[in-house]
Amino acid sequence: MKKEEIIKLLNEDITGEIEAILIYMRNSFVTENCPPSRKMEEVAKDEMRHTEWLAELIVDLGGVPSMEHKPLNFGREGAEGFLKRLIGLEEGAIAQYKDHISQIPNEEIKKKLQHILEEEEEHLKGFKEHLERLKK
């Protein structure tokens, strides 16, 4: 796999991270229910760290972080709608990181993506727990 192709995959990952950061931050601002709001804010900070790690990998490969993002869909208004949307985003991120880990041959990059993947799995679990608690 050429460097340019790895850079393209890592930039796709950054696109997803930025989408998550913007949606999680905005939703945390407008969510009145405190525990889910704080969780969204906390996870947004993790996604910023992921963006930083991905950007460092891209720059090390001689590329430029694209910093693009998709049109933002915040989910249905209210904590429950937001959490459902965030769960969907984490599931999408998990599938994408698994795919990219399987494609990228570089061990160091794989390891970093594996670390991110494990954190996305924690995010998914956390958002699901918050959604369950709202339903009780």
C-beta separation of 100 from 113 below 8 A: yes
Q: How far is the CB of 86 from Fe ion (least distance, A)?
A: 8
Nearer to Fe ion, 25 or 62 (CB): 25
Nearer to Fe ion, 4 or 42 (CB): 42
C-beta separation of 112 from 66 below 8 A: no
What type of residue is 84? Answer: K
Q: How far is the CB of 6 from Fe ion (least distance, A)?
A: 18
Nearer to Fe ion, 19 or 90 (CB): 90
Q: How far is the CB of 29 from Fe ion (least distance, A)?
A: 18
Q: How far is the CB of 4 from Fe ion (least distance, A)?
A: 23
Q: Is 19 exposed, middle or buried (0-12, 13-18, 19+ CB in 10 A)?
A: buried
Nearer to Fe ion, 17 or 19 (CB): 17
Q: Which residues bind Fe ion (CB under 5 A)?
A: 17, 47, 50, 90, 120, 123
**68: left (phi > 0), else alpha (psi -120 to 50), else beta?**
beta
Q: How far is the CB of 62 from Fe ion (least distance, A)?
A: 23
Nearer to Fe ion, 76 or 125 (CB): 125
Q: Is 13 exposed, middle or buried (0-12, 13-18, 19+ CB in 10 A)?
A: buried
| 3-class secondary-structure state, position 93 | helix
What type of residue is 22? Answer: L
